[in-house]
Structure 1
């Protein structure tokens, strides 16, 4: 504080002391008027405590007080200063949240004050002298209502009006005659008191309070209009304590209320009256009233009892109804052997019924009324799971809870229990309480120990049921596997939820028999809907029998879905065989196969599309429309489906449950979306290593294809393709004959060209004979490779190895040949064989194969980066003598550079590097694989 602010504070304090002296408020004794003011303030604001304080120097002086929270706590020190700091009311809804008050003993101590509202006592010239305040032990987030705030302010002003009157009296000239002075003072007081009474009455009328004023000296009882209405007294009807008040009380409450009032008037007591009682209203209904008041003392004895009355009938009836519910609940819990618990989540308290002691030995004195006490008695190995499951219910992830765990008895042993709990929420979904029942299943579990070993290890799904509710009591792992659900998703649930709606009639008939206690043993086949929505078939052996005093129902379930589907698919394959025998053309065979595939797999779309093997992935034709006759069957380019096309070209069957959720097929999703396809099976049709067609089934919704369904699609495709092959065998033979004639002509033309060029460039006959023989041997080996099978193509590795074998025989291991498997056509095979022979011959004469340590590497790879795939191949010599380019190019060099390029297209480069000859080839893959 600065020197100037300290000086200003001292000046205000001096001015306040002077004003209090002028008003006669320094060290005065208690006054009845002040007592009435705090009484009215307490009743007006429905607060248990009220105070009237004046501040001079140091601690505020309490001039009047009422209520149990009236001890000296030091709280007034902070709050009076805050009120005096400015005009109007100071309202603090929660004292624990305000930094000025949260650490004061009156808030943190046993009084536990939580709410404060104070009005400033202000002189006409604006100087604050003190406060009139009310306090409560519970927070009031809404503060005071408008009527209470206005009334509290009015009381503060009337107190100051009374003080103004006192100061006016003290200023009277001492020369005025005492009698006249007294008379004037009385007249002024009457006016002021009349105004005060009017304002107090207006403040009270703003609430539903009635006033009860009992003058003990005159034995006169005064009721205001509200009190007369409550008791059914006429406006002008005289009322007395003994003749009007006591007779209107309920007979069971009359003696008690009279005794409490007499105790209030006893000087040895606190002088406070706070009670509730029943009266009979004028309409004959019973009403509950709440009365709060205090005695008024004058001359050392009680002279008056002033109270306020409030009709609390609605609240009381609600409390009585709630108590009746609690009584019924207590009786119900006594009628069961289950230990029932009720957990109030807002307070954390948990109460148990008497069965906790009867079943588990816990006497009430040993039980803490908290959820933590219960959780602490769950076996340590089970505790974390129980706690997690309870949290799931509280957080709203599940609505009901059922759990088997071990619970500690009072004697230190553990009981195996089945606990079931249910959550209660308010309209907004906020959890309020959880109620559950603890059933001891120890004996049942011990009796069934041997059964459980069989139960858990069985290869059949087993579920034990409550025959009346049909809720699952126990399931084994196999049943969970069959239904695709976790045990906690099944236990405590009715098995009816696993039956499809279309089978509800048969299901309900069976359930009624079980619920009626019928003893039965039946075997039946039923459909079930798994947790993922898929329908399956189950063979059920149902046994309901009497064990002891109870009926036990057990169902043993075997998944026969694949049996059913296999039978259905076998019938479909027989039908397909008949259809293929009756078909006389390629299109009708494949369309018949597609129709059977779609009907058996229950897909909306199934069909066949051919693929041009010569165009490869760039083919404009498509394979994806639903059927040849469908309206949306326009061809789609294979480039729209790169991932699918890649799998199909490798001969792989494509089965995708959901193309939008499979990252491998993300690039195909847009193409399928345009066709309305989400799930698919595509079976490639391969001819001579090329993809020539696809048989497919499409679904518009995601679908988890079973292995049997994929195998069935392959079987349909293979049978149709084999039938088509037999149908086309004769036509194929004619084509082969024509191809053989065409190939023979090409071979003779190539032999003639090779002989002519060899003889033309040979220096002598012996050289010509040797070169010609080697070239014809290489050409013969290439033909051998092409004619070893029924195909019109050969593996590139076999072509190269065959062409180089004549040179590798001399010094084995001189060649390293590596690259992916590729089928090449006849023209490429012959030209490639001749090129390899020429390169090897030159290497033997001049290059790496002319010395013992020399080696040759032949490698190749497929490039996919361009518009269409291409093949890049390299011949690389290593470890030979230094190589120089020849001064003259002979026929062999021209054969290397032009023969293969002319046959298949592309480029061939022959480089004479110092480390050895390098020959590079790059050509379209389609050229290498062409069968023309």
Structure 2
């Protein structure tokens, strides 16, 4: 709670004490409202009490209402002032210019109000005047408002005192009524009954209502009435202090009783005679017992005497100090001093002066150099006739006193007071701890905050140094950062060995406070007292702060003069040290938490998983940043609170609901499902759903983690496709291999020839397959296909020239062409241009025709080899070259044998076999 809030709570409590809110009008307050309005010549005068949310008008003139909301009038602002608020022109005052009562009906322009303050200085309301015209007040009018405000408070205090007196009287009456064997009757000076106890009704029969106002003589017999015994009893009691006799009296039922009748004078608190008290006891049955009668009379007399002595001894038995004094005036009539005429024993005890030495002396005689305020404030009470409460330090005694000064007339006054030094010091310590809490919680620099906290402690205790040092992990070194010192006092910033502190280092490590009133006389410090004193350390408090079973820090307090430290002071230092420790740990925990939260945010943001938190109904309450990205959600509010399974498609809704049910039962679930992102992008998800447990093991939330498996799913589908395609390709290759084997074996002369030819052709098939595998059995570059076919004559590759545009062939065409080129180069090596040292081969191709119907032409031409003649029969190679290519290229294939060299030509549509690469 802030200081302002705490003060407001105290203010409201002070107001409640008077029990005046919502009470009927009372003439005493109405007259004050009328008077202040008349003095200030204002149309509106108000006695205003300010509650928590409203203003109650105990009295008002010209306003016409008894209460208003707190924000509609001016008085709430008056609480912020020290004493008096004056607003000459509300339209020119920015605080009120926009107030609806200024801008609209009734167009208030002027306000002046004095605070209604309790003896504790707490404002509970105002006495104020308002006008419809701008104006000023004279000094006399302002002073009148202040004086009348104090009169209002006097009325409130009087109401409170009257209520308390009534309560006290009720208690006393209850006590008196409890004495059922005694009739206690109180009369005025003329003997008319003003009080009648229940004991009187029990003894005499009449009720209180029947007897109030009647003469007490109705209780007497006719004989006593004729003899004027009532007047004689009262006269004797007034003259002698009491009148006691035994005589016959008459009950309501007419029956006579013999009663002991003791009459005593009744005095008020000022010692004024205001009536009589008659104490009666029915002694009819004990008439013969004279001794018993005397005992009753003595007891009644003792009670009356005790009542008198109570007032006589009150002055001397008060716990409070009491002063009866008269002011001294100078030649100009100004009060310059005051003289003690009477003080009680408590006064001597409270100020520490020998009893009997004050009477007849002035305050300046007793206390030379006393602060002028002790004279001036009491002088103001005498001059104004108004009581005043004070709470002030008596500098010469270093004590605090709280009391009330009241005027009694003839330049005299009384003071009743108590010493409140302990209370004030406790309040200062409490306020200091509050300030320390604010400093430690609001500062961003913990070292600076600790420096400020040590300053608060030092100034509260009135010492020259205070600081907070931390111990390292092994407890060997203490580090003292910046701390507060008084002017001229050295600072102890640095690192120190704990063992250098001497014998009390053991106490510090053990977590025991070290409190030394004087370093010269404590055996732990006396051997090095001169070193301590050189550092302005004559007395000390070293208070260890324990954490995790060891001393982690020390709060130290030093002064340069000896001091007897109180338990409360040590406890104050301990509390300050504890708060610093808690603040440091809290700050460290907050930093760790921030770092942890930052790390978790980074993890969540970096993760491509869609991490969601659901309530037990399955509604979305959280989604990670990474999840929002993969789900293509820009604003979480667009989906917050949505039912999570609704994001899933078809069977996914049911799977999601089943997973939620499992999580609510404390089990995890997993499934895979296709679902679109928020923007409609198709995705495939791996979904895990798990329960989140609370402290007591119950399921409090549900965690759903969805991982984008779209790529994985596509890979799975591609794998299935690839497996099918591989199976198809493998079957084709096996078919080709089988065909090569059959044809090779059929045409071979010897087994060795068949084996060599078959191996060579399989190698060529393998190279062709490698080319297609490198392109995933997609279209292959013609250059690459041709090089695969020519690989068998790598050592003669420089004698083969190839040239043509970039063309890509489909797998079947590429495979057939590779095998055909292999056959051509094999034949050229055995019989053609590559069988000697001079022959060459030219391999060229071109694409002609339109873009829609391109035509592919390829020419194999051998030169400078042996003279060529057509073969007598066609083998497998020739058939492979002519027939296989023709079927795949779906065009013309011609193998010719001119003498200058073998030629092979393909002329076919490119569409279906491949494509021309244009860029």
Same fold (TM over 0.5): no
> Higher Cα Rg: structure 1 or 2?
2
TM-score bracket for this pair, using the shorter chain length? under 0.3
TM-score (norm 2): 0.26
